[in-house]
Chain A
Amino acid sequence: MNKVFPNKAALSADLKNNPMLRAEIRKQRVGASIRYIILLFFGLVMLYPLFWMFSAAFKPNHEIFSSLSLWPKNFSLDGFINGWNTGTEYTFGRFFINTLYYVVPKVILTVISSVIVAYGFARFEIPFKKFWFVTLVATILLPTSVLLIPQYLMFREMGMLDSYLPLYLPMAFATQGFFVFMLIQFLRGLPTDMEEAAQIDGCNSYQLLWYIVVPMLKPAIISVALFQFMWSVNDFLGPLIYISSVEKYPIALALKLSIDVTEGTQWNEILAMASIAIVPSIVVFLIAQNYFVEGISSGGVKG
Chain B
Amino acid sequence: MNPNNNRLGWTFTSPYLIYSLVFFLGPLLWSFYLAFTNWDMIAPSYEFVGFDNFVKAFRSAGVQSAFWVTYKFMLVFVPLVIAMSLVVSVLIHGLPRFKSLFLIGFFLPYLSSGVVSALIVKGFLSYNSPMNEWLRGIGININWLGGPWSALFVVGLIMAWKFTGYYALILTSGLESIDREIYEAAAIDGVSNTSRFWRITLPLLYPALYTTLILAFGVTFGIFTEVYQLTGGGPNFATNTWQMEIFSQAFKNLQAGYASAVALLASLATFVSIFLIRKLLELWGKRNGWV
Are A and B bound to each other?
no
B positions within 8 Å CB-CB of A: none
- A interface residue numbers (CB < 8 A to B): none
